[in-house]
Structure 1
Amino acid sequence: MSEYLPEGKLISEQENINIIHSLKLLEEAKNSEKILEAKAIVCDSSHNLIVDLGGIKGIIPREEGVIGIKDGSVRDIAVISRVNRPICFVVTDITEAPNGEPVVMLSREKAQRKCLDAYISGLRCGDIVPARITHLESFGAFADIGCGIIALMPIDTISVSRIEHPRERFTVGMDIKAVIKSIENGRISLSHKELLGTWEENAEKFCAGETVSGIVRSVENYGAFVELSPNLAGLAETKEGVCVGDQVSVYIKSIIPEKMKIKLIIIDVFDYKYNPTSPEYYCSSDHIDRFVYSPENCKKRVETLFKP
């Protein structure tokens, strides 16, 4: 398994477990600068992180807690917030405390720089990478794409069907796939909707005459747009009392690929509670240059181009 993964992915690997419980193996890991993971259990008053190495004390000094902490471009909250979470690091030294107990000095910053140099610097637009959701804001989702290095996924790139907040799709800690959308001045932006299938791939799951569930995403004077899947919505006839965010049962009147339209009738309305599940992905490759959402015989063309 690659060591350049989102934090939390290595911690349960048997090799990682074996190493952090053995001084001899920790010494070998120091010499090879191998990236390891364990849980940060305390952030002391000087903002040094204490890491649980299975009975062996590990310390990440504040200035080694994250890239940018030394020059002040990153605030201490980036270190404090790691308590009770898996954290990646390389071993920098093994010493003894005054009582003779071993103390292992660690650096997360060096692990992140290694990840940047060996992995992230080689990423290109269109590359598909594993990611883990770290926090959600109204404007988008932040995801760890390797060793705690964070990239933003703007809300309009999460799915074709528009949502009001990323929490409708994701939960913190969810493992997903993402596409590298842009790289500018070292900042990486992610996209997601291109992995959730084309209009036709999603429409194939439904048939005219069926009654299925959906979520109302917008209400206009000519009807309500109802999401049938994250990358597919249909237009329903207006029904009194229907609001954005309602869960509904809808009858599928017709599916028209050449117009990229699905006509619906709302049968019933229910309260909707967010319960995001792992996304269903239609792309199994590790890179895409372009994504064509619209059907081939549709006059309207909807596509994404990933420029080198």
Structure 2
Amino acid sequence: MPSGRQPAHFDCTANISEAIESGAVLEGIVQKCDNSYNLYIDLGAAMGVLPFRESAIGADLGKVREISVISKVNKPVCFCITGLREGADGRPVADLSRRLVQEACQRDYLDRLAPGDIIDAAITHFEPFGVFVDIGCGIVSLLPIDCISVSRIAHPRDRFTPGQWLRAVVSGRDGLGRITLTHKELLGTWMENAASFSPGDTVPGVVRSVESYGIFIELLPNLAGLAEVREGIHPGDTVSVYIKSILPEKMKIKLIIIDDFPAGSCHQSRPPLHYYWEGDHIDAFYYSPPSCPREIATVFTPPSGC
């Protein structure tokens, strides 16, 4: 995501005039939304007013819902200052636009992204089917739940927290030209994850699924093992498991449940996500081990000539 946002606080109107001249991208906390859905941000030397029509791309065309504007109260938004005038009470008023900085972000940054590019994003809200993230100046994109990690989760809250920053890979664009994202490709291959464990280890895990033939237990976001069926075990439980074997050629880890801690019965800390890929682009991701006949891969950039 483009950086360079400045805190929107000014000691004098001269500094506001400089911000207008430079076109600086600013960020401030919305203090109020009036009954016409205009937003108000205190800039220090002036009160900033962000009209509804300038609240986002498409607002002037009726493509922005009022609830999306109301929900910005008490949250940071980015904008530029387009003018400075005297208000009815004699105080300086700064006219703001979020639409203009979004259009610049779309034109100069998002439209240039290609499949395989890795970007920073901030979580805005959750849905059962995925998580919405801010990929630049309030422009949002969906990260589907099945693209979050190889280990399946019931809800995005199982993996993320509100406001969390994450890295994501551009997977393509939908029929409306909006960027689509994936995330699991940054969390490591089967072999990279399995290298953290050895047969004979006893380690913590999280129950993700209980089936008739066994219990799937997540050891890491991109690695799960299978334990035999045991009564009283439920999805979301934290367990201690003994690692019987690690079988790369079958892409399997066999586990034995040693102890069970039902969800909510103990403090369960969530370790920070570990990203195995540190660059800004990835051409392809091969999850399965070379010795495994079953290939699981994601190809972002087709080979030259294809």
TM tier, shorter chain?
A: over 0.9
Q: Once structures 1 and 2 are overlaid, which stretch shifts more, 211-220 or 226-235?
A: 211-220
Alpha carbons of structure 1 residues 282 and 18: separation in structure 2 relative to 1, 3 Å? same
What corresponds to 1:200 in structure 2? 191
Q: Which runs of 4+ in 1 moved over 3 A?
A: 17-22, 273-278
Distance 2:238 2:8 in 1: 48
Closer, same or farther: CA 259–21 of 1 in aligned 2, 3 Å: farther
Partner of 1:290: 284
In the comparison of the two structures, how many residue pairs are matched? 298
Aligned match of 2:53 = 63
- Runs of 5+ consecutive residues of structure 1 not aligned to the other structure: 11-15
1:248-303 per-position Cα deviation (integer Å, ceiling 9, x unaligned): 11000111112111110011111224754532111100011110111112111111
CA distance in 1, matches of 2:152, 2:172: 21
**Partner residue in 1 for 2:163:** 173
Matched, 1:94 2:84: yes
Secondary structure of 1:283 counterpart: coil
Contact 1:217 1:226 in 2 (8 A): yes
23-32 vs 296-305, greater mean Cα deviation: 23-32
Pick the aligned partner of 1:42 from 4, 8, 32.
32
Q: Could you tell me how far 1:307 is from its partner in structure 2?
A: 4.3
**Higher mean Cα deviation, 73-82 or 94-103?**
94-103
For the residues of structure 2 that align with 1:56 and 1:71, how far apart are their CA atoms?
A: 29
Distance across 1 between alignment mates of 2:113 and 2:10:
30
C-alpha distance 22-200 of structure 1, shift in aligned 2 (>3 A): farther
Instruction: Tell me, yes or no, if the aligned pair for 1:168 and 1:275 is still in contact at 8 Å.
Output: no
Q: Which residue of 1 aligns with 2:226?
A: 235
Over 3 Å counting, the alpha-carbon distance change for 1:103 and 1:211 in structure 2 is same
Aligned to 1:13: none
Alpha-carbon displacement from aligned partner over 1:76-103 (angstroms, at most 9, x marks no partner): 1121111111110011001112343211
Relative to the length of structure 1, the TM-score reads 0.92
> How much has 1:33 moved relative to structure 2?
1.6
For 1:304, which of 295, 298, 303 is the aligned residue? 298
Structure-1 separation of matches of 2:15 and 2:107: 25
Question: What residue in structure 1 maps to residue 204 of structure 2?
Answer: 213
Structure 2 counterpart of 1:148, one-letter code: G
In structure 2, the residue corresponding to 1:145 is in which secondary structure?
strand
Distance in 2 of aligned mates of 1:99 and 1:182: 50
Q: Secondary structure at the match of 1:70?
A: helix
- Answering whether residue 139 of structure 2 is matched by residue 145 of structure 1, we say no
Letter in 1 for 2:292: C
Aligned residues: CA RMSD = 1.7
- Aligned match for 2:21, one of 31, 46, 53: 31
The residue type paired with residue 301 of structure 1 is E
1:221: how far off? Answer: 2.1
- In the TM superposition, what whole-angstrom CA distance separates every residue of 1:195-247 from its partner, at most 9, and x where no partner exists? 11111111111111111111111122221111001000001122122222221
Q: Report deviation, 1:23.
A: 2.4
Between 1 and 2, higher relative CO (CA 8 Å, sep ≥ 6) is seen in 1
Q: Which is further off, 240-249 or 155-164?
A: 240-249
Which residue pairs with 1:278 in the alignment? 272
Q: Distance in 1 between matches of 2:257 and 2:80?
A: 57
Shift of residue 32 of structure 1?
2.3
Return the TM-score normalized by structure 2: 0.93
Letter in 1 for 2:112: G
> Where does structure 2 lack aligned partners over 5 or more consecutive residues?
none
Q: In the alignment, is the contact (CA less than 8 A) between 1:291 and 1:303 conserved in 2? A: yes
Structure 1 contact 208–253 (Cα < 8 Å) conserved: yes
What's the CA shift for 1:25? 2.6
Is residue 125 of structure 1 aligned with residue 115 of structure 2? yes
CA contact (8 A) 2:120 2:135 kept: yes
The 2-side partners of 1:57 and 1:198 are apart by 51
Q: Which moved more, 1:22-31 or 1:115-124?
A: 22-31
Which residue identity does 1:89 align to in structure 2? Answer: F
